[in-house]
């Protein structure tokens, strides 16, 4: 947890061997979902792409959707309850399956354009 806020949680998204991005999860956006993600940290898995606008990692997190939406902006972090994926938005994009907004990418969002199938995403708490 970040020292200054109980509502904002600082995490690190590593693209093994390529890049490090700072993530901010915001508990007030979806308390149950963000809590489930935080309890599952560290998360590691293969990177996947939905077209060229969304990178994601599958997880074993089981939680329902909260405050579902279908419009996301560049830098948003979403959670797709249907398969437990954490999604990172590279561009402003509408999605077909409604997702829960859980936070944002605070740095280096453009690095996600370099994701290739088989790359490994790792999500850890900042400062560990």
Q: What's the burial of 99, exposed, middle or buried (CB within 10 Å: 0-12/13-18/19+)? A: buried
pLDDT at 7: 84
- Asked if residue 3 belongs to a domain, the reply is no
pLDDT digits (tens, 9 = 90+) for 69-107: 999 999 999 999 999 999 999 999 999 999 999 999 999
pLDDT at 128: 58
- Asked if residue 125 belongs to a domain, the reply is no
pLDDT at 2: 39
How many beta carbons lie within 10 A of that of residue 124, not counting itself? Answer: 15
- Asked if residue 93 belongs to a domain, the reply is yes
Contacts of 60 (CB under 8 A, 6+ apart): 40, 84
Per-residue confidence band for 3, with pLDDT thresholds at 50, 70 and 90: very low
- Asked if residue 2 belongs to a domain, the reply is no
- Asked if residue 128 belongs to a domain, the reply is no
Going by the DSSP 8-state scheme, the letter that residue 114 receives in this structure is: G
Q: Which residue has the tokens 């994701």?
A: 115
- Token code pair at residue 114: 């370099």
Residue 1, pLDDT > 50, answer: no
pLDDT at 25: 96
- Asked if residue 40 belongs to a domain, the reply is yes
Q: pTM for the whole thing?
A: 0.92
- Cα separation values, 115 from 15, 45, 58, Å: 8, 13, 15
pLDDT at 118: 82
Strands in the chain per DSSP E: 8-15, 19-26, 43-50, 54-58, 68-72, 76-80, 85-89, 93-105, 120-125
**Domain, as residue range, for 112:** 8-120
CATH number at residue 72: 2.40.100.20
- Asked if residue 126 belongs to a domain, the reply is no
Please count the structural domains in the chain. Answer: 1
- Asked if residue 127 belongs to a domain, the reply is no
pLDDT digits (tens, 9 = 90+) for 9-62: 999 999 987 889 999 999 999 999 999 999 999 999 999 998 899 999 999 999
């Amino acid at each position: 947890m970040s020292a200054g806020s109980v509502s904002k949680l600082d995490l690190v998204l590593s693209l093994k061997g390529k890049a490090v991005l700072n993530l901010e999860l915001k508990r007030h956006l979806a308390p149950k979902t963000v809590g489930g993600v935080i309890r599952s940290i560290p998360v590691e898995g293969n990177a996947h792409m939905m077209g060229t606008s969304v990178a994601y990692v599958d997880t074993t997190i089981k939680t329902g959707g909260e405050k579902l939406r279908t419009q996301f902006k560049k830098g948003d972090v979403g959670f797709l309850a249907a398969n437990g994926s954490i999604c990172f938005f590279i561009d402003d994009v509408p999605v077909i399956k409604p997702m829960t907004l859980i936070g944002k990418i605070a740095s280096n969002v453009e690095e996600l354009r370099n994701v290739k199938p088989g790359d490994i995403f790792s999500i850890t708490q900042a400062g560990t």
